[in-house]
Structure formats: C-alpha cells, structure tokens
C-alpha cells in the first residue's frame, strides 16, 4: 500500500512540475504586466523602467531558471501588486477557501446522500420526481447567477442575511449555499442511481426477507456500497469547488484563494498566480489521497488492488 501511495506521489510530482512549467510560460504569453499595471497613456520610457525594475526585461528562459532555483527553496518571489512574498499571500488566503470548501461539500454531501437514498427507496414516487427535478436544476444553474439572485432574494427582499463581506457567521450563509448547490445537485443524481442498483441487489433482498427494518436496510446495508460512486463524484466536486470559489469569493468579497487568483490574473501578478496554482494543486493531490483512503475504508476489495 505504501508503494501505491509512493507511486501516486511520484506521478503527482511529475504533473505538478509540468503544471508549473505550463503556468510559467502561459502566463507570460499573455504579455507584460506593464500593460495592465501602468495607465494606458504611460510613455514607453516608464514601461521600460517598470519591466527592468521587476526583471521582466530578461530573456524568458533566464527568468524561468531563476524561478526554478527559487522554487527549490519554496520561494515564489514577491507579489508585484502588493510587494509581499507571494506564498505568504496564498497561505493567508488558503484557510478561508478551505473552510468554505469544507462546509459547502459537507453540507452538499449530507443533504444529497440522504435525499438521493430516500429518492431511490421508491423510484418514480412524488418525492423522487421532485428530488430529481430540483437536483437537475441545482446542478445546472451557473454560480454567478445563483449568487446574484440569492443576494436579491435573501439579502435585499427578505433581509435574512447580509449581501456580502466577512466577519459574522451570517456572512458565510450565502456563499456556502451557493457553492453547495451544484455539488449537491450532482451528488443527488449519483446517489440516487447508485442506490437504486444497490437496492435491487441480492443481499438487500436477503436483508428484507430477514425482516430488517427499512431504515436499517437503506442507511446501513445499502448505503455503504452505494457510497462508492458518491465518494468519487464528491471528491471530484470538492476539487472543483475551487473553480466555484473564484466566482463566489469575487462576488461576495471573500478574502480566499479564488479572489486572490482572479485579482492576480487581472494584474498579471505572475508570482502569486504560480504560488496559487502550486498550492491548489498540492491541496488537490492531498484530497485525492484522502479519497483513496476513504475507498480503502469503504471497500475491502480496493485494498487488494492497491497492495
């Protein structure tokens, strides 16, 4: 098993390296930060001075090798925008995003698994149909739209929660709800279909024949096997929540990695983009390890495959 994780770590390190190289060159292909940082009518002399000051006038390969050298010391360089070490900015913003992602995916998972399992208990019942339609809507609505509508309905019309910002618990409600909606919708679909197939399997029929109570059959016998595809999709969604966080954090003014990345991309703050991509990639790698471990716990068959 240790070998399995070592192999996985090696592959991840290779893809991380490829990612870093790609991000380095692709971000620089967008042009010079001087274009965005200086006013449109800045004279050429100022652009030249700006590029020299920040080392963008050096050949790209030279910039790349000094970047690699620094990277070995986990030094991503200074943020162009804020004049602070890029990695510090990312690590400062990371807990907010991780918490946001954690709450969203946990809420999505609990709500969706219960809903999906209940829907699967009696396929085509009224409950199942409502759950299916609502989950389809949830999975298909774009985040930015839900966010704005959420503000109009819950903050402006009903005045239940603040529109945006951080500081109070109430300010987390809308962002979490918006972020949870899409994964919840998808997981309901997956949980429902997976549970339907598990519920029709022989061992569930045996349990029924034995006279086990329905609740026990559904949430103990069936759910354990039904969870495997759910974990895969939930893991995927948890990794993808960073995409949603970009939009949600920007709209709600949340100081997380998503907002930091967008601001950095808008200003071509290369150092922060690179640090952000690296840290996010490592987080996703760790999440994949966690998913593997969850599989191990849930399905003994995977243990043999991994050994």
Q: Tell which positions 266-285 bind other proteins, by CB under 8 A.
A: 267
Considering beta carbons, is residue 54 or 221 the nearer one to other proteins?
A: 54
How far is it, in rounded angstroms, from Cα 63 to Cα 61? Answer: 5
**Cβ of residue 295: shortest distance to other proteins, in angstroms?**
37
* CA 211 remoteness from chain centre: 42
DSSP letter (8 states) at residue 195: H
Name the region of 42 (left: φ>0; alpha: ψ -120 to 50; beta: rest). beta
Task: Copy the structure tokens of residue 193.
Answer: 């279909």
Considering beta carbons, is residue 37 or 103 the nearer one to other proteins?
A: 37
Per DSSP, the chain holds a count of helices (H) and strands (E) of 14, 0
Considering beta carbons, is residue 149 or 286 the nearer one to other proteins?
A: 149
Whether residue 99 contacts residue 292, with contact meaning beta carbons closer than 8 Å, is answered with no
Can you list the alpha helix ranges (DSSP code H) found in 253-267? Answer: 257-266
**Cβ of residue 171: shortest distance to other proteins, in angstroms?**
10
Residue with tokens 């190289």: 21
Considering beta carbons, is residue 37 or 219 the nearer one to other proteins?
A: 37
**Cβ of residue 88: shortest distance to other proteins, in angstroms?**
14
Q: Tell which positions 21-50 bind other proteins, by CB under 8 A.
A: 30-32, 35-46, 49-50
Which one of 91, 148, 282, 293 is in contact with other proteins (CB under 8 A)?
A: 148
Annotate each residue in 70-109 with x if it binds other proteins (CB under 8 A) or - if it does not, as one string.
Answer: ----------xxxx--------------------------
Q: Tell which positions 197-256 bind other proteins, by CB under 8 A.
A: 250-253, 255
How far is it, in rounded angstroms, from Cα 273 to Cα 262? Answer: 9
Q: Tell which positions 155-174 bind other proteins, by CB under 8 A.
A: 155-156, 159, 162-167
How far is it, in rounded angstroms, from Cα 90 to Cα 45? Answer: 33
Considering beta carbons, is residue 160 or 203 the nearer one to other proteins?
A: 160
53 is a site residue for other proteins (CB under 8 A): yes
Burial of 301 (0-12, 13-18, 19+ CB in 10 A): exposed
286 is a site residue for other proteins (CB under 8 A): no
* CA 120 remoteness from chain centre: 28
User: What is the contact surface with other proteins in residues (CB under 8 A)?
Assistant: 30-32, 35-46, 49-50, 53, 80-83, 147-148, 151-152, 155-156, 159, 162-167, 250-253, 255, 263, 267
């Amino acid at each position: 098993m240790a070998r399995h994780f070592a192999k996985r770590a090696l592959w991840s390190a290779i893809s991380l390296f490829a990612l870093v190289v790609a991000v380095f060159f692709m971000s620089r292909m967008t042009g010079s930060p001087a274009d965005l940082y200086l006013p449109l009518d800045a004279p050429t002399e100022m652009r030249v001075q700006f590029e020299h000051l920040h080392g963008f006038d050096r050949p790209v390969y030279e910039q790349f090798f000094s970047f690699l050298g620094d990277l070995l010391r986990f030094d991503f360089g200074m943020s162009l925008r804020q004049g602070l070490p890029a990695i510090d900015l990312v690590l400062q913003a990371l807990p907010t995003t991780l918490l946001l992602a954690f709450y969203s995916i946990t809420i999505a998972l609990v709500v969706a698994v219960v809903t999906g399992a209940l829907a699967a208990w009696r396929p085509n019942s009224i409950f199942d149909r409502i759950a299916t339609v609502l989950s389809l809507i949830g999975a298909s609505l774009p985040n930015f739209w839900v966010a704005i509508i959420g503000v109009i309905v819950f903050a402006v019309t009903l005045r239940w929660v603040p529109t945006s910002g951080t500081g109070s618990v109430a300010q987390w409600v809308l962002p979490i709800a918006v972020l949870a909606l899409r994964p919840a919708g998808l997981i309901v679909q997956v949980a429902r279909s997976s549970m339907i197939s598990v519920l029709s399997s022989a061992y569930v029929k045996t349990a029924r024949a034995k006279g086990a109570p329905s609740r026990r059959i559904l949430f103990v016998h069936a759910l354990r096997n039904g969870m495997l595809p759910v974990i895969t999709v939930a893991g995927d969604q948890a990794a993808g929540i960073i995409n949603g966080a970009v939009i949600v954090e920007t709209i709600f003014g949340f100081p997380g990695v998503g907002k930091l990345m967008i601001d950095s991309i808008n200003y071509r703050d290369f150092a922060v983009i690179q640090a952000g991509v690296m840290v996010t990639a490592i987080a996703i790698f760790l999440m994949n390890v966690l998913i593997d471990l969850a599989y191990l716990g849930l399905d003994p068959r995977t243990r043999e495959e991994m050994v």
